Amino acid sequence: FDTYSSSVETVTEHVRATVARGPDDSEFVYRTATRAKALDAVRGILPAAATSSVGICGSGQAFEALLLRMRAHPLPEAREYSELMLHELRKVIPSFLRRVDLPDRGGAWTDYFATTRGDTASLVEELFSSTPVEAAAEVELVDFDPEAEEKLLVAICYSHSTMPEHQLIAKVRALGVDERVALMRAYVGERQNRRHKPGRAFERSFYRFDVLSDYGAFRDMQRHRMLTIEWQRLTPNHGYSRSELVGEAGLTAQFNEAMERSAALYDVLNTDYPQQAPYAVSMAYRMRYMMQFNAREAIHMLELRSSPQGHPSYRRVALEMHRLISEKAGHHAIAAVLNHMTTAAPELERLESERRAEARRAST
C-alpha cells in the first residue's frame, strides 16, 4: 500500500508534466483527469485483499440462492458475510429466507454445493495436476455457432411471420446477399448511440471466450451478469501486466519489486492457507477466466468496455473480442452492428467524462 501511494503521486506528477491542460478545461477537470490516469496506471500494485464497497440489488429468490452459495464457500469470511446479510434481509423479506438455515432445507442444499465442489476439485487435481500448462493468447474465441448469422435472420423474421421456424429456415437460406443485408439493416436501424440496442433476435448466437487478463480487468468484466462466467484460482503463476506509463515515470523497478513481494507472500501463505493466499496477489497479476454470451450482450458489453474512459486492460480485452467475432467467427454482419466501439482512446481517458460532469454541475 505504501508503494501504491507513492507511485500514484509520482505518476500523477509525470502525467501533468507531459500532458498539457486544454485551453477550455478548468483546473479541476484537468487535475481530476490526470489523477484518474495515474490511478489506472498503478492500480495493479494493490493486492486482491484491498477492500471495496459493493451494493447488491436483487429479488428474494436471488438473495436466497446467493446466501446458500455463500454459506457453502470455503472462505470463513464469505460464510460470515452471509450471516450478516441474512440478519439484515430478514428485517424486510423474512418469508423469502425462512429455509436458508433450516438443516433439512437450506442446510442440505448448502452441503450439496460444498460436497460437489470439493469432489470435483479433488478429481480434476487427480486427473490433470501433472499436465503442463500450454501458452495461450490473452483472448481466445474457443466456441461459436458457424450458422449464427443465418439463425439470427430467422429470429428477426419469426415474430413478423406466420410460418413455423423450420419453414422460415428454408426461406432464409434461399435469400440473396442483398435481401439478407436489408433484413439486418431494417432490424438494427440507425443506432445513434450505444444505448440503442437491437432486439432479442441477437440472443440467437453465442460466443465463448477464454481470457487471460490481469485481475483488475477481471473484476470489471465480472460485473456483467447477462452471461456465463467461470474463473480459475488467482495466483502469481501467469505473470503480470505493467502499464507503459509506469516505466515512463521511472517506476519500473519499484513496480517489479512490489510484484515480487506479492508473489513471495502468496507462496508463504499457500502452504497452510491455500484459500486465503490469493488475497496477497496484486491486481496486476493475470488470471484465467471464461466468458460466454450472446450477440445482444456483446453489443452492450463490448461497446461499454471499449469506451474511452475505460481502463486500458479491459478495453484491450473488449477490442480483441470484437475483432475475433468478426475475423475468426466470420460474423462480419454482427460485428458491424457494434458501431460504437472506441478503437483509440484519447491521451487523457477520463477527460471527456469529467467535462460532461462539470457541465452537469454548472447547469444545476
For the record, the C-alpha cell of 238 comes out as 501467469
pLDDT score at 96: 95
For the record, the C-alpha cell of 324 comes out as 475475433
Q: Compute mean pLDDT per 10 residues along the chain, 364 residues long, and list them.
A: 94 93 88 93 96 91 97 96 97 96 96 97 95 94 96 97 97 94 95 94 97 97 94 97 96 97 98 96 98 97 94 96 97 95 84 84 82
Cβ–Cβ < 8 Å for 81, 52: no
* Full strand arrangement of the beta sheet holding 139-144: 139-144, 206-214, 286-294, 228-231
| pLDDT, tens digit (0-9, with 9 covering 90-100), for 109-146 | 999 999 999 999 999 999 999 999 999 999 999 999 99
The alpha carbon dihedral of 196, 227, 319, 178 has a sign of negative
Cβ–Cβ < 8 Å for 221, 305: yes
Question: How many angstroms separate the Cα of 76 from the Cα of each of 80, 82, 105, 235, 272?
Answer: 6, 10, 21, 20, 15
CA distance 62 to 70: 12
pLDDT score at 362: 84
Question: How many angstroms separate the Cα of 320 from the Cα of each of 50, 134, 136, 341?
Answer: 29, 20, 14, 11
For the record, the C-alpha cell of 360 comes out as 452537469
Cβ–Cβ < 8 Å for 150, 173: yes
Question: How many angstroms separate the Cα of 354 from the Cα of each of 35, 213, 274?
Answer: 11, 27, 42
Residue with cell 513471495: 264
Domain positions in the chain are 2-52+235-284, 60-131, 141-211+288-354
Cβ–Cβ < 8 Å for 337, 240: no
| pLDDT, tens digit (0-9, with 9 covering 90-100), for 42-99 | 999 999 999 988 899 999 999 999 999 999 999 999 999 999 999 999 999 999 999 9
Cβ–Cβ < 8 Å for 147, 172: no
pLDDT score at 353: 82
